[in-house]
């Protein structure tokens, strides 16, 4: 199967990310770029959504638990047609709806205001439980950062989701190995992550987070799993697609200058 359409969409999304952060003069490119393929797969194939009707009954929901990576969600929503693409170039401008962290009250398609690390997965578990109670067919997807899972709240949510058999909940861990202060293993060791989630009662799938075949297969495995939530551990590259940002913790929260954004856009080959 060819994945050209998804690869092109991901390149466009990455281009939107770097341009928006450059225009803002601040933001978080590293973890936004690492998650772009996963978010592309969600918005362009996996999720049941309608850009013309963002509040559609029975829709699937995506929660960006690592809210500082808001640019990847904004760019994906724009690429999917929720609003004009040029709008996100006003990222972080005073009075603009595209703030540093997603705001559910201002941006169409954003299901939850996030940014306080660890809270997104808790909200997602609550949404999944509500769907079960309401017999709502919608599924809930939540993207976490690997540094984020150092938060104890994540594990309380994981325990609860397994206890209530939330098989309509899918977590995706953006495992790029770096956080703002450096390597995860040096800041606070969280490995073995797969064994931890299994011990908490989750179905676990480990993939290359930049391989669309593996990403889509993981979502299929999640749909086939009954009685357990699924955690997809996606091994990724921080700053993916931009040579000077890849695997560099310094690009966790820094905007590219004029020369750097030109190089990044050229390397990405996307349209924005």
Tokens linked to 262: 């030109």
Q: What is the pLDDT of residue 157?
A: 98
Answer yes or no: are the C-beta atoms of 64 and 100 closer than 8 Å: no
User: According to the model, what pLDDT value does residue 182 have?
Assistant: 85
**Over the chain, what is the mean pLDDT?**
97
- Please give the Cα distance from 64 to 113 (Å, whole number): 9
Q: Is residue 73 left, alpha or beta, with left meaning phi > 0 and alpha meaning psi from -120 to 50? A: alpha
Instruction: With beta carbons less than 8 A apart as the criterion, state whether 174 and 145 touch.
Output: yes
What pLDDT is attached to residue 164? 98
pLDDT for 221? 98
Cβ burial, residue 1 (10 Å; 0-12/13-18/19+) = exposed
Rounded Cα–Cα distance for residues 210 and 246 (Å): 13
| pTM (2 d.p.) | 0.97
| pLDDT above 90 (res 181) | no
- Exposed, middle or buried: residue 33 (CB in 10 Å: 0-12, 13-18, 19+)? buried
How is 172-210 classified by DSSP, letter by letter?
A: EEEE-SEETTEEHHHH-----HHHHHHHTT-EEEEEETT
Per-residue pLDDT for 203 more than 80? yes
Question: Does the pLDDT value for residue 1 go beyond 80?
Answer: no
Q: Residue 2 — very low, low, confident or very high, per pLDDT cuts 50/70/90?
A: confident
- List the single range of 33-47, 88-102, 109-123, 174-188 with lowest mean pLDDT: 174-188
Architecture of domain 4-268 in this structure: 3-Layer(aba) Sandwich (3.40)
The per-residue pLDDT for range 76-112, each reduced to its tens digit, is 999 999 999 999 999 999 999 999 999 999 999 999 9
Q: CA–CA separation, 257 vs 21, rounded Å? A: 10
Residue pair 50/59 in contact (Cβ under 8 Å)? The answer is yes
Q: Position of tokens 């770097």? A: 18
Length of the chain, please? 272
Do the beta carbons of residue 83 and residue 253 sit within 8 Å?
A: no
Place of tokens 């941006």: 107
Residue 180 has pLDDT above 90, yes or no: no
Q: Percent of the chain at pLDDT above 90?
A: 95
pLDDT at 148: 96
Nearest partner of 69 among 29, 103, 39, judged by Cα: 29
Q: Parse the chain into domains and list their residue ranges.
A: 4-268
């Amino acid at each position: 199967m060819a994945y050209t359409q998804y690869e092109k969409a991901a390149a466009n999304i990455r281009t939107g990310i770097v341009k928006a952060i450059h225009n803002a003069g601040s933001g978080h490119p590293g973890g936004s770029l690492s998650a772009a393929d996963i978010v592309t797969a969600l918005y362009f194939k996996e999720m049941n959504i309608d850009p013309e009707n963002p509040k559609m009954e029975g829709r699937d929901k995506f929660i960006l638990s690592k809210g500082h990576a808001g640019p990847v969600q904004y760019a994906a929503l724009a690429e999917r047609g929720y609003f004009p693409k040029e709008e996100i170039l006003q990222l972080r401008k005073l009075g603009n709806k595209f703030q540093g962290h997603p705001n559910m009250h201002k941006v169409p398609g954003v299901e939850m205001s996030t940014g306080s690390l660890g809270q997104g997965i808790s909200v997602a578990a609550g949404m999944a439980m509500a769907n079960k109670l309401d017999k709502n067919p919608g599924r809930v997807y939540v993207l976490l950062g690997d540094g984020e899972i150092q938060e104890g709240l994540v594990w309380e949510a994981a325990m609860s989701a397994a206890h209530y058999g939330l098989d309509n909940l899918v977590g995706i861990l953006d495992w790029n190995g770096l956080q703002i202060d450096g390597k995860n293993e040096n800041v606070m060791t969280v490995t073995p992550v797969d064994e931890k989630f299994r011990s908490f009662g989750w179905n676990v799938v480990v993939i290359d987070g930049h391989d669309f075949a593996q990403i889509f297969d993981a979502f299929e495995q999640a749909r086939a799993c009954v009685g357990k939530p699924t955690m997809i551990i996606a091994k990724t590259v921080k700053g993916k697609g931009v040579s000077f940002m890849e695997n560099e913790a310094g690009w966790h929260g820094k905007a590219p200058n004029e020369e750097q954004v030109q190089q990044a856009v050229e390397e990405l080959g996307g349209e924005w």
